[in-house]
């Protein structure tokens, strides 16, 4: 069996096994601690801190964010970003919707002239940006999340999956119902959360004894649309799995699981292990 065949086999086995007992236990502890923050079973209250003045060079600036002249800290929640995106999509103000999701995604790490504002400026300067965002929303509304991902993948320089899946996630929340599975955020943290689960399956089945397939499949960036589809299928199934336990709200949405995994209760490879796996996987094309 070639490498891709082993990757597909690990995916299929993960889809059957889903979250192991230790991950369910860790997630249960996370919920016990965070239930007061998310009593409705959604991560709508999940807020990030940002400094508006650090984004003063960015336009269009959503009215729902604090004024860009504000030099102190401000907070914005997922629910508030969803409201901004819904309003922007009604007006077909796609770049405004992008700015809201990007600032939320970057948070306080955005510094003047730093990777946040400067990268966003480059993205906003792309001639095809508005058309690409519009096409992705149309694809999301009419076809689904994987197809919308395909529209944006490698479409705009500097606009990678870690941030365009945030745009798709909030667009999906704003649209309420889309064909197939609701889009979720996939970034480096989420991918590295699933890597040790894939590595464990690979070891136990003999499909990936040294973890190099897991490192190749659950890379740190540039996931294919196929990988995004695998991710969505796993996350939605795992959300149903944990919702059937007493440790998790039965009516929780799948993005609550995404929020929890981002916060880090589940297994992740240590820095040395991740470095070895990345070195082993370097130079190989992403799994389809």
Please tell me the distance from the alpha carbon of residue 247 to that of residue 185, in angstroms, as a whole number: 23
> What is the CA 118 to chain-centroid distance, rounded?
21
Cis peptide before 48 (omega within 30 of 0): no
Cα–Cα distances (Å) from 139 to 9, 128, 148, in that order, read: 29, 16, 5
Could you tell me which residues come within 8 angstroms of residue 88 by beta carbon, excluding any fewer than 6 positions away? Answer: 62, 94, 96, 97, 100
Please tell me the distance from the alpha carbon of residue 204 to that of residue 206, in angstroms, as a whole number: 6
Of the chain, the percentage scoring pLDDT greater than 70 comes to 90
> What is the CA 151 to chain-centroid distance, rounded?
16
User: Phi and psi (nearest 5°) for 6?
Assistant: -70, -40
Residue appearing with tokens 């230790």: 22
Could you tell me which residues come within 8 angstroms of residue 183 by beta carbon, excluding any fewer than 6 positions away? Answer: 140, 145, 148, 149, 165, 168, 169, 171, 172, 232
pLDDT of residue 288: 57
As a whole number of Å, the end-to-end CA separation of the chain is 16
User: Burial letters for 61-100: b for 16+ Cβ neighbours within 10 Å, e otherwise?
Assistant: bbeebbebeeeeebebebebbbbbbbbbbeeebbbbbbbb
Question: Per-residue pLDDT tens for 33-48?
Answer: 999 999 999 999 999 9
How many residues are there in the chain? 288
Please tell me the distance from the alpha carbon of residue 22 to that of residue 266, in angstroms, as a whole number: 8
Could you tell me which residues come within 8 angstroms of residue 238 by beta carbon, excluding any fewer than 6 positions away? Answer: 18, 19, 257
Question: Per-residue pLDDT tens for 89-129?
Answer: 999 999 999 999 999 999 987 554 446 899 999 999 999 99
Question: Per-residue pLDDT tens for 175-200?
Answer: 988 999 999 999 999 999 999 999 99
Please tell me the distance from the alpha carbon of residue 212 to that of residue 235, in angstroms, as a whole number: 22
Task: State pTM to two decimals.
Answer: 0.91
Q: Where are the domains of the chain?
A: 3-39+185-281, 47-175
Question: Per-residue pLDDT tens for 114-167?
Answer: 468 999 999 999 999 999 999 999 999 999 999 999 999 999 999 999 999 999
Which of 9, 17, 11, 3 lies closest to 230 in space, CA to CA? 11
Please tell me the distance from the alpha carbon of residue 282 to that of residue 274, in angstroms, as a whole number: 12
């Amino acid at each position: 069996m070639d490498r891709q065949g082993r990757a597909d086999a690990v995916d299929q086995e993960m889809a059957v096994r889903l979250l192991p007992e230790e991950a369910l236990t860790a997630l249960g502890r996370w919920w016990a601690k965070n239930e007061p923050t998310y009593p409705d079973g959604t991560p709508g209250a999940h807020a990030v801190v940002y400094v508006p003045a650090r984004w003063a060079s960015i336009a269009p600036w959503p009215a729902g964010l604090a004024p860009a002249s504000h030099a102190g800290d401000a907070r914005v929640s997922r629910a508030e970003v969803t409201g901004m995106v819904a309003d922007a999509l009604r007006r077909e103000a796609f770049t405004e919707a992008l700015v809201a999701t990007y600032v939320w995604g970057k948070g306080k790490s955005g510094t003047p002239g730093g990777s946040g504002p400067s990268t966003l400026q480059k993205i906003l300067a792309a001639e095809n940006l508005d058309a690409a965002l519009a096409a992705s929303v149309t694809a999301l509304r009419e076809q689904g999340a994987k197809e919308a991902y395909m529209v944006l993948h490698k479409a705009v320089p500097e606009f990678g999956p870690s941030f365009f899946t945030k745009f798709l996630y909030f667009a999906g929340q704003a649209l309420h119902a889309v064909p197939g599975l609701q889009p979720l955020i996939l970034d480096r943290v989420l991918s590295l959360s699933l890597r040790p689960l894939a590595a464990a399956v690979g070891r136990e089945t003999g499909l990936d004894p040294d973890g190099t397939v897991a490192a190749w499949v659950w890379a740190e960036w540039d996931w294919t649309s196929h990988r995004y589809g695998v991710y969505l299928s796993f996350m939605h199934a795992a959300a149903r799995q944990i919702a059937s336990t007493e440790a998790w709200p039965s009516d929780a949405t799948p993005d609550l699981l995404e929020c929890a995994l981002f916060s880090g209760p589940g297994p992740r490879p240590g820095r040395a292990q991740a470095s070895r796996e990345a070195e082993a996987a370097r130079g190989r094309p992403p799994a389809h």
